[in-house]
Structure 1
Amino acid sequence: MATPTRRLARPALFICDLQEKFRPAIHEFPRVVSTTQKLLRAAQLLDIPVFATTQLRSKLGETCPELGLDAPDGIKTKAHVDKSAFSMFVPELQKAFYEMGEEKREVVVVGIESHICVTQTTLDLLRDGHKVYVIADAVSSCNAQEVPIALARLRAEGAVVTTSESFLYECMGDAGIGEFKGVAGVVKEFNKATRENLEALCKM
């Protein structure tokens, strides 16, 4: 039997503007954070590079603390950039992104708001030639009604709209890879939260 390899060769995780100050305003914000925590845990096991942004940090504050981005004992990012543009794909983040190489990547986008920053980030990445996965149980907006409209548009533009669990298993592609047991353990640990997050964020 051939040595198993991952299905996705060059994934990257983009975390868009999950700042504490947005918590009261965003529909089901804790659910978005919970799914992002799951993806971050799996990203550590799979060595997936993480990129994050804040929107006008001096006015709107820091990334919510439970994600632990760039904390001394937390998750290290390739770039954690403050911006005024709505798209994450600003020059400072692009510089860190392309320091990993010029190859096209599979970029996973989570965060807020679905119809503004997530949409514009996804469009920029698609136009730059990357495959983009928008995680439906990890994006939201102030108005819940904006989310399905944004996801439908992004699907039509060529993005893959999927769930966190589907993405993780597609990323691995084979139960024979060395990291499978660890990632499956993360999926199991978040099983109840995942079900609740899907029910809250992915209503048909």
Structure 2
Amino acid sequence: MPWQGCRILGVRALVAEQRPEVLGGTVPELGAGGLPRLPKTAFSVAGAAEPLLGDPRIRHVLLCGIEAHACVLGSQPDGAHPGGGVWGGVWGAVWGSRCNLGRGPSQTERALALARMRQAGAFVSSCESLLLLLLRDSAHPKFRQILPLLKEPPPDTGLILGGL
């Protein structure tokens, strides 16, 4: 949902992929097809996204991802950029932890990562809430295009928010 909403609203989005030549690329089921890809080896996205983050018009960066305790949390402290603003963890778009290690998602790792991001000043939000904040008003000209995304039930990750 976050990428589809970004496309509709004209919000710039990109996909940073952790060593895609080894781990594979972003799966089509996440709906990120056609977005620019940034391969990276660092857990933080800041180095790979430096050309984008250096734009002084950028006030906020929305951070979504798969590995909550690694790349998502690793990117959050680097969120300061010349435009100011805080990286935001979008709860409905942070799907798990330890997914690629064959152990399945970890509720503990995910909850701790989101709690730490929140303590560092990130606003942890749901995808639906984020889209509504971007729209600001049901009279927004793109509201009707966003409405089907709001009606979609969020994916059941099997994980809990963990005291946030």
1:123 corresponds to 2:77: yes
Q: Conserved in 1, the CA contact under 8 Å of 2:3 and 2:31?
A: no
1:47 corresponds to 2:5: no
Which runs of 4 or more aligned residues in structure 1 lie more than 4 Å from their structure 2 counterparts after TM superposition?
A: none
Specify which of 33, 42, 50 is matched with residue 94 of structure 1.
Answer: 50
Whole-angstrom CA distance in 2 between matches of 1:126 and 1:197: 31
**Which stretches in structure 2 are left out of the alignment for 5+ residues?**
99-105
Specify which of 49, 55, 76 is matched with residue 35 of structure 2.
Answer: 76
Amino acid across the alignment from 2:139: G
2:61 aligns with: 107
Q: What fraction of aligned residue pairs are identical, expressed as a percent?
A: 28
2:127 aligns with: 164
Instruction: Calculate the aligned-residue CA RMSD, in Å.
Output: 2.0
Whole-angstrom CA distance in 2 between matches of 1:201 and 1:106: 26
Amino acid across the alignment from 1:96: L
Whole-angstrom CA distance in 1 between matches of 2:80 and 2:68: 16
Amino acid across the alignment from 2:148: G
Q: Conserved in 1, the CA contact under 8 Å of 2:107 and 2:160?
A: no
- Alignment of structure 1 residues 1-204 onto 2, 5 Å: 38-67=1-30, 69=32, 74-77=33-36, 80-90=37-47, 92-98=48-54, 101-126=55-80, 129-139=84-94, 140-142=96-98, 143-188=106-151, 190=152, 193-194=153-154, 197=156, 200-204=158-162
Tell me the number of residue pairs that the alignment of Structure 1 and Structure 2 aligns: 153
Q: Conserved in 2, the CA contact under 8 Å of 1:137 and 1:197?
A: no
Q: Conserved in 2, the CA contact under 8 Å of 1:136 and 1:201?
A: no
| Alpha-carbon distance, 1:112 to partner | 2.4
**Which stretches in structure 1 are left out of the alignment for 5+ residues?**
1-37
Whole-angstrom CA distance in 2 between matches of 1:152 and 1:67: 24
Whole-angstrom CA distance in 1 between matches of 2:60 and 2:5: 15
Change (3 A) 1:121 1:145: same
Deviations 1:59-99 (A, max 9, x none): 11111123454xxxx4333xx11111000111x4211343x
Whole-angstrom CA distance in 2 between matches of 1:136 and 1:75: 23
Amino acid across the alignment from 1:86: F
